[in-house]
Amino acid sequence: MSNSAMSNVNNGARLIALSLLSGGAAMVTFVAVTLVKAAKAEGVAVTEAAFRNGPAFINFSYIALGAAAILLVTELIDYMSRKKEASSGFLSKSLIVRYVSSLVCALLMIVFSLVFAMPMGKLMPTIRTDEAAHEQFDKLHNGSRIVFGIGILFGFISLVIPNSMPARKPE
Q: What is the DSSP string of 149-161?
A: HHHHHHHHHHHHH
Contact 11, 81 (CB under 8 A): no
Q: Which of 108-112, 137-141, 164-168 has the highest mean pLDDT?
A: 108-112
Question: Residue 4: in which H helix or E strand, if any?
Answer: helix 3-18
Assess whether pLDDT exceeds 60 at residue 37: yes
| Separation between Cα atoms, residue 11 and residue 99, nearest integer Å | 13
What share of the chain in percent tops pLDDT 90?
57
* Range in 86-90, 98-102, 166-170 the model is least confident about: 166-170
| Separation between Cα atoms, residue 84 and residue 150, nearest integer Å | 32
> Helix H segments across 42-88?
46-81, 83-87
Band (171; pLDDT cuts 50, 70, 90): very low
Nearest-CA neighbor of 141 among 161, 166, 123?
123
Kindly report the pTM of this predicted structure: 0.86
Assess whether pLDDT exceeds 90 at residue 94: no
Which tens digit of pLDDT belongs to each residue from 7-35?
889 999 999 999 999 999 999 989 888 88
| Separation between Cα atoms, residue 25 and residue 115, nearest integer Å | 17
Q: Longest C-alpha distance within the chain, in Å?
A: 66
Assess whether pLDDT exceeds 90 at residue 164: no
